[in-house]
């Protein structure tokens, strides 16, 4: 379990401009940048370590993100990140209202609501003794609650040995961070959070090959892993969008 808390990340990111973004919003953006980074790291590890994926790669990346949020953080911080991540999947949708939205069934990602419920289920299933109220608060139906412990066990059996292998390799500098500093306030927040996250990971683990993580404007709301150049690109526009949909 990592000692660094999200607050530590945010402390790094509270310069003069912080007054323009309230703490709740900046916490929401920071937490989502962390969980999105973990998702992209899933794609990177699948590529670098040639991991077999018997299903949709996007789902496997989501599962790694849930496992790492549970593994890396103390309970209180993990819960805060989990709430933000769940609401990040919802975007501007209100789960308590029966809103009908067009679903892109052709997309490589699962539908947003399915990703939301699966994330909540995995997070609950990782510590059911303490997280039942959270699962209920996040509207996980009773019908799904019963399978979550087994779902997390399977997730942990799949990703656990991979994480163990990386941490067994010890500290290193295999994840390199690169940022375009000519960014807006949202970009600065994303940049500080991801830089701190990369630093923490390098203290905990080493990857078999070098991975570059860039935070930069891309002209679109996105984050992705490019296997051709072995780079994770976190677009600063994503941070701005998250601030806009922050609940």
- Residues at the interface with Zn ion (CB under 5 A): 58, 61
> C-beta of 133: minimal distance to Zn ion in Å?
30
CA 15/CA 30 separation, integer angstroms: 15
Any idea how long the chain is? 247
Three-class SS state of 205: coil
Q: Please, which residue, 34 or 61, has the CB nearer to Zn ion?
A: 61
Distance between alpha carbon 192 and the CA centroid of its chain, in Å?
15
> C-beta of 136: minimal distance to Zn ion in Å?
29
> C-beta of 122: minimal distance to Zn ion in Å?
16
> C-beta of 117: minimal distance to Zn ion in Å?
18
CA 69/CA 63 separation, integer angstroms: 10
Q: Please, which residue, 47 or 58, has the CB nearer to Zn ion?
A: 58
Q: Please, which residue, 19 or 55, has the CB nearer to Zn ion?
A: 55
CA 13/CA 243 separation, integer angstroms: 15
> C-beta of 207: minimal distance to Zn ion in Å?
18
Q: Please, which residue, 61 or 82, has the CB nearer to Zn ion?
A: 61
> C-beta of 237: minimal distance to Zn ion in Å?
16
How many CB atoms neighbour CB 166 within 10 A? 19
Q: For the chain, how big is the Rg over CA atoms in Å?
A: 17
How many CB atoms neighbour CB 22 within 10 A? 12
Contact 219, 237 (CB under 8 A): yes
**How does 114-137 read in b/e, with b if 16+ C-beta sit within 10 Å?**
ebbbbbbbbbbbbbeeebeebbee
> C-beta of 73: minimal distance to Zn ion in Å?
21
CA 216/CA 188 separation, integer angstroms: 10
Q: Please, which residue, 10 or 61, has the CB nearer to Zn ion?
A: 61
Q: Please, which residue, 31 or 63, has the CB nearer to Zn ion?
A: 63
Q: Please, which residue, 58 or 71, has the CB nearer to Zn ion?
A: 58
CA 65/CA 85 separation, integer angstroms: 10
């Amino acid at each position: 379990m990592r000692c660094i808390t999200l607050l530590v990340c945010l402390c790094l990111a509270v310069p003069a401009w912080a007054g323009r973004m309230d703490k709740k919003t900046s916490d929401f953006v920071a937490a989502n940048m962390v969980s999105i980074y973990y998702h992209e790291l899933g794609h990177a590890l699948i590529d670098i370590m040639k991991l077999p994926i018997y299903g949709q790669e996007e789902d496997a990346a989501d599962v790694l993100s849930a496992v790492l949020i549970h593994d890396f953080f103390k309970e209180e911080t993990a819960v805060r990140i989990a709430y933000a991540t769940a609401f990040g999947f919802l975007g501007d949708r209100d789960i308590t209202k029966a809103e009908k939205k067009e679903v892109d069934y052709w997309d490589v990602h699962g539908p947003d609501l399915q990703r939301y419920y699966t994330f909540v289920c995995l997070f609950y299933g990782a510590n059911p003794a303490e997280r039942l109220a959270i699962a209920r608060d996040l509207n996980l139906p009773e019908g799904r609650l019963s399978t979550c412990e087994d779902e997390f066990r399977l997730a942990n059996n799949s990703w656990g040995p991979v994480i163990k292998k990386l941490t067994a390799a010890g500290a290193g500098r295999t994840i390199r961070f690169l940022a375009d500093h000519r960014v807006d306030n949202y970009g600065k927040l994303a940049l500080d959070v991801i830089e701190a996250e990369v630093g923490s990971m390098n203290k905990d683990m080493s990857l078999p090959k070098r991975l570059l993580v860039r935070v930069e404007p891309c002209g679109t709301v996105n984050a992705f892993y490019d296997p051709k150049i072995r780079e994770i690109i976190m677009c600063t526009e994503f941070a701005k969008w998250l601030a806009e949909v922050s609940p």
